[in-house]
Amino acid sequence: MDSERLARTSYHHGALRQALIDGARDILAELGHEQFSLNEVARRAGVSTSAPYRHFRDRDELLEAVAADGYATLYNCLHQVVLDTSDPADRLLRLGGAYVRFAQEHPGLFMTMFRGPGGIPDEVGIKSYEILQCAVVEAQRAELVSTGPSPELLTMSIWAALHGLSVLSLRQLAARFGMDGPPEELAAGTLSALLGLREPGT
Architecture of domain 3-56: Orthogonal Bundle (1.10)
**Residue range(s) occupied by CATH 1.10.10.60 in the chain:** 3-56
List the alpha helices (DSSP H) in the chain: 3-10, 15-31, 38-45, 59-84, 88-105, 107-113, 123-141, 151-170, 173-176, 183-195
Q: What distance lies between CA 54 and its chain's CA centroid? A: 27
Q: Which fold has domain 64-195?
A: Tetracycline Repressor; domain 2 (1.10.357)
Give ranges for CATH 1.10.357.10 in the chain: 64-195
Number of residues in the chain: 202
DSSP type of residue 198 = P
CA-based nearest residue to 188, from 200, 175, 202, 176: 200
Using alpha carbons only, give the angle 147, 145, 166 rounded to the nearest 5 degrees: 120
Each of the 202 residues of the chain gets a pLDDT tens digit; together they read 344 444 444 555 458 899 999 999 999 888 877 778 889 999 988 888 898 888 998 988 999 899 889 999 999 999 999 999 989 999 999 999 999 999 999 998 898 888 755 455 668 888 999 999 999 999 999 999 988 999 999 999 999 999 999 998 888 766 677 677 788 898 999 999 888 875 444 5
Could you tell me the pTM of the whole model? 0.84
